[in-house]
Every structure is written in C-alpha cells, then in structure tokens.
Amino acid sequence: AQVTEEDLANDQTITTQVVTNGMGRHLQRYSPLDTLNRDNVANLVPAWAFSLGGEKQRGQETQPLVYDGIMYITGSYSRLYAIDVETGEEIWQYDARLPEGILPCCDVVNRGAAIYGDKIIFGTLDATIVALDYKTGDVVWRDRIADYRAGYSYTAAPLIVDGLVITGNSGGEFGIVGEVQARNVENGDLVWTRPVIEGHMGTLNGEESTMTGELNASWPGDMWQTGGGATWLGGSYDADTDTLVFGTGNPAPWNSWLRAGGTESDDLMGDALYAASRLGIDPATGEIKWHFQTTPREGWDYDGVNEVIPFVDADGNQRYATADRNGFFYVLNREDGAFVDAWPFVKDISWAEGIDENGRPIFVEENRPGDPSASADGARGETIFASPSFLGGKNWMPMSYSQRTGLFYVPSNEWGMDIWNEPVTYRRGAAYLGSGFTIKPNYEDHIGSLKAIDPLTGEWVWEVQNGAPLWGGVMTTAGGLVFTGTPEGHLVAYDDETGEELWSFQTGSGIVGQPITWEQNGTQYVSVISGWGGAVPLWGGEVAATVNYLNQGGLLWTFRLPEE
Ligand code: PQQ
C-alpha cells in the first residue's frame, strides 16, 4: 500500500487511518466516528502504552499518524518511532544525530511527521528534513532547510500537497528570516522558497521568482534583513481555494521602537510586513495570494503562527478561523483572507481595546513597552504590564472545529506579563530580543481555559478552567466528544454541548501532545502522547514556578472500549 494524494485529501472521512497533521489538511481535528460517544465514553480503557525510553524525555508534542497497521510518532530530540497499532510493539526507531550547538528556543520538541507514497518525512532540530522508508526507517533523502548555526531550527509537522513537502522554519528569537519551502517528496529537490519578510527574494525551480512585498514599505533601513517572522508552526491547506495558509511569527527584534513601530504612522512604515500575519500562498509557485496581519507594530512577541482552519459558517459562508496569540479570535474570508470579524477569546486583553472594522488593532499605547533610548541612561525602557503574556492567549496547541456543533474548541490561557525593552544589536546565532519579561497568572485559581466558541458571534458557549496552562491539542468527534489533555496529566473527554467532564485518565506525565482517533476492525481507538515540557517550564516566569512539580515523561497511550 502507498499513501496517495487522495488519501491525504480525504483524511477526515477515511476513518481507518490518520495520514495528515490536523486529521485533514484543513486542521479541523474532527472525526466523523461515533461508536465511541457521550453514552459509552465512561467505559474507555487503555489498550496499550508505549515508552519512548532513554534518558531523553522533555516535551512530547507529537500528533500520531496511523497507516496500514502502523502508528508513526515523533519524539523529543528528533526521534521517530514506528509501532504496531494492534499490539503497541516497536517496529523500528530512527534517532537523528543532532550536532552540538543547535539553538531551539522552546524545548527540544517535534510535533509530528508527514506520510506519502512509501515514505515518512519529518524535520529535525538542526533545521533538516529527512525522508525515511516507512517499512524500515532507512533514510531515502535528507536536505538542509537552513543553517542551524545562524539560529534556525525545526519543530513542526510538514505538510504534503500535490507531491510537494511544504515546511516552515523556526528561529524567530535569533533574527532569522521566516520562510516557506516546497520540495519534491520523491527526491527532496527544492521547488520553491518564499521568504515572508518584505524585501527578500523568492525562488522557483532554482531561479529568482519575485520579491516578497515592497522594499522598505513597512521596515526602516536594513532591519528587514534580520526580520524574524519564523513560520514555525507549519500550515494548513484549503483545497477549495487551492491555497496554503501559513502563519508568521513576531518581527525581530521584539523591541518595536527599533523597527519604527513605536508610534502609529500614516503609511505602512513600522507595521513590519509580513511578520505576525497569515499568508495565503499558491502551492504550485510559492507566490503570496493574500496576507492578513493580526498584529502590526508588534511589540509583545505575539507570533501570528496559530493555525488557520477553513470552515463553512452557520449562514453558509466560506470562512477561515484563527485564535491568535494576541488574544483575539478572527474570522476571515476564504477567497482573499479579508477580515470579517474578531472577538476576544481571553479576558483582560490590555494591549488593544479591540479590532477595528478593517481588522487593525485599536492600540492602547500606554501598554506598549517603552523606548529604552527615551530613558535616562538608555538602558531600559518603561516596564508595562500586558495581557495576554508573550506565550499568548493561545500558543501552538491546536484548537478543533466540530462539524457537529459548528463550534470551535479553543485551548486558551489567562495570563499576563511585565515586559520592558532594552537595546540590542544583531549577532549571528545569538538571541535577538531587546526585551525582558516575567509572566504572571491573571487569576489565582486557574490559567488554562478550554472554551467552546461560536464563530458567528464570538460567544463563549462554555468554559472549563484548569490550574496549569493548557498546552495540548484538542480533538472533536461526531460522538459528541471533545478530547484534550492537561499538564496535570489527565486526558479528558468533555460533552461538546455542555463542557461536562465525561471521562478522564491519568497518563503519568503532563500532556502537551495532540490526540487522534481512528477505527480498526470496527473498534474506535483514541491515542495521545504524554510527556510534560514545551515552552512553559522554560519561559513561564512566575507560572513556571507554580508547575515545577510536574514530572517529565514519554509514554504513548492508546484507548478503546472493552471487548464485549
Ligand atoms: N514552541 C513552543 C512549544 O513547543 O511549547 C512554544 C513556542 C515555540 C513559542 O512560544 C514561540 O514563540 C516559538 N517561537 C519560535 C520561533 O520564533 O521560531 C519557534 C518555536 C518552536 O519551534 O517550537 C516556538
């Protein structure tokens, strides 16, 4: 058997396999399976568990893939495992040999692989992409995405469309330049590249194609050359409009005054296009079809990378939805990415009063960290409190769209930060922030908040609060279930209409992975990886201190209903 473009295109409806990140390239993470449902989920029990082994633990963020009786997962430190789905026995394991000196910003994570033909493909922390034979784990081809010594890394699941492997890059905290690349999945040959910062040149078939944006329209001087905008979370594919949708990280450095973004201007200057944006890209050529910038004049590390999910709203309109790190839930038009509406999905947003009718934030200028050069000694600008924190109202952990309820299920966090700016100059391979910060909880009893959101009105239909920040993916099913995990270790199933907890299981370590479901010989299975880590323990300030009791791990769990 070989995975085809049809398999990828129909992944949501072919319930015996999971061959794409997102359980469908639109990333809805919704399964039409309903043999497991609200009436029987209380009986769910483990079928098997698989340990990643070794002393290499840290954050386990993978979304498993299932094909032809084999489950494929990636692990921390760029490992990939093939496992028998019936028994949980290992078939083979691939360990990337990582060089000294890799510079991942936010833990040694990997979010999953891609599968096509007879190959399984994943990216490694040294900004390399590797294709393995899916039966043996032997390397078929390997290629460098970018130079890890300049701060580039890679953590996302690749996306496959029409025989091309599409990847982003990581490294935004090091003054790299965000880019999307497409390679021939058969041999790894580079087909096109699209840098996402204005002034940089794209390529197609080895030749220069077009410049991104217009030089110095929104970036002063040569700041665009180290402009950040890492495309670190990968993207979705909207088959109906034949568009890749990729998000871009914050512009570098964080200090917006150095990019002419400290004050509002009459033209685009200071907006830092196309950082902190969503881009619609032509998969055949890498040309940008449209852009929507969630946070122009970005100054709080509000990366615009979060997933964009195509859906049809209750009035029959073709829409995209995305829950941005900046705290606003956006609905965009699917043809051209144009702004439709936006609402807060967390409480206490302080950096903006709202979003205007053009989709531009209404800034609260007092809540922008101050200009260091305006301070007495030039060493530190005014410290302000901003909410959400730089780890966002929502970070990378994917939300889900239920076709059953028409609601989005958003894993969000209620927290803020003290943040200030400092002078900084670019040095290759060194952190390029120009900011300091401390994250703080906004409430004593919870940070995590799973919300069911109506995409027509922005209304929160229900909310379930959690002590620690939520950091795991969400999945919905036609059985009326919402699955997600907590850092405290529980995989939980909720009622999709009420938020009532129907089942939970303690997995032994924090869940920052992404659940899936599929069916094998008429039985519906649910799998999730457990293993606490990711950005929170590293960057979470006062919040990290409240969760430092959580243990690391590395166990993949698979559940089913008991045999009759
Ligand atoms: N990764 C996580 C995680 O896996 O928990 C959280 C974050 C990243 C962030 O909050 C980031 O800002 C971030 N930024 C970049 C970047 O700018 O290149 C990369 C990554 C990453 O690759 O994991 C993260």
Query: In this predicted model, what pLDDT tens digit does every residue of 220-270 receive, in sequence order?
Result: 999 999 999 999 999 999 999 999 999 999 999 999 999 999 999 999 999
| pTM of structure | 0.98
**Is 232's C-beta closer than 6 angstroms to any atom of ligand 1?**
yes
DSSP annotation of 177 reads B
Structure tokens at 108: 């040694």
Place 55 in a pLDDT band, splitting at 50, 70 and 90. Answer: confident
**Is 105's C-beta closer than 6 angstroms to any atom of ligand 1?**
yes
Cis peptide bond prior to 388, omega within 30° of 0: yes
Q: Rounded to whole angstroms, how far apart are CA atoms 374 and 292?
A: 32
Q: Is the pLDDT of residue 54 over 90?
A: no
Q: Evaluate the CA torsion angle 41, 46, 50, 54 in order and state its sign.
A: positive
Per-residue model confidence (pLDDT) at position 335 = 96
SS3 for 237-292 is: EECCCCEEEEEECCECCCCHHHHCCCCCCCCCCCCCCCCCEEEEECCCCCCEEEEE
278 with 332: CB under 8 angstroms?
A: yes
- Distances in Å between the Cα of 146 and the Cα atoms of 113, 129, 462, 535 are 19, 10, 43, 22
Q: Whose CA is nearest to atom 17 of ligand 1?
A: 172
**Is 535's C-beta closer than 6 angstroms to any atom of ligand 1?**
yes
Helix (H, G, I), strand (E, B) or coil at 179: strand
Q: Whose CA is nearest to atom 1 of ligand 1?
A: 106
Q: Is the pLDDT of residue 500 over 90?
A: yes
Distance from chain centroid for Cα 48: 28
Q: Which of 232, 394, 529, 532 to mutate to test the pocket of ligand 1 (most atoms within 8 A of CB)?
A: 232
**Is 173's C-beta closer than 6 angstroms to any atom of ligand 1?**
yes
409 with 496: CB under 8 angstroms?
A: yes
- Burial class from Cβ neighbours inside 10 Å (0-12, 13-18, 19+) for residue 65 reads buried
What average pLDDT score do residues 469-496 get?
98
What average pLDDT score do residues 459-482 get?
98
Residue 301 is a catalytic residue: yes
Q: Whose CA is nearest to atom 10 of ligand 1?
A: 391
Q: How far is the CA of 457 from the centre of ligand 1 (A)?
A: 30
Active-site pick, 126, 238, 271, 301: 301
Helix (H) or strand (E) holding 9: helix 5-9
ipTM > 0.90, yes or no: yes
90 with 81: CB under 8 angstroms?
A: yes
Q: Which of 116, 120, 122, 113 is nearest to 135 (CA)?
A: 120
Report the nearest atom of ligand 1 relative to the CA of 536.
Answer: 5
**Is 155's C-beta closer than 6 angstroms to any atom of ligand 1?**
yes
Q: Whose CA is nearest to atom 8 of ligand 1?
A: 106
Task: Calculate Rg over the CA atoms of the chain.
Answer: 22
Q: What are the backbone angles phi and psi of residue 164, rounded to the nearest 5°?
A: -110, 135
Per-residue model confidence (pLDDT) at position 108 = 97
Q: Whose CA is nearest to atom 24 of ligand 1?
A: 106
The predicted-structure confidence for 392-441, as pLDDT tens digits, reads as follows 999 999 999 999 999 999 999 999 999 999 999 999 999 999 999 999 99
**Is 170's C-beta closer than 6 angstroms to any atom of ligand 1?**
yes
**Is 303's C-beta closer than 6 angstroms to any atom of ligand 1?**
yes
Q: Whose CA is nearest to atom 14 of ligand 1?
A: 172
Q: How far is the CA of 534 from the centre of ligand 1 (A)?
A: 8
Q: How far is the CA of 489 from the centre of ligand 1 (A)?
A: 22
Per-residue model confidence (pLDDT) at position 68 = 96
Per-residue model confidence (pLDDT) at position 56 = 82
Which of 48-57, 69-78, 356-365, 486-495 shows the lowest per-residue confidence on average (mean pLDDT)? 48-57
Place 564 in a pLDDT band, splitting at 50, 70 and 90. Answer: confident
Q: Which of 317, 332, 502 is nearest to 406 (CA)?
A: 317
- Distances in Å between the Cα of 556 and the Cα atoms of 52, 86, 106, 399, 530 are 8, 14, 22, 21, 6
Per-residue model confidence (pLDDT) at position 360 = 98
Q: Which of 396, 413, 439, 543 to mutate to test the pocket of ligand 1 (most atoms within 8 A of CB)?
A: 396
Place 53 in a pLDDT band, splitting at 50, 70 and 90. Answer: confident
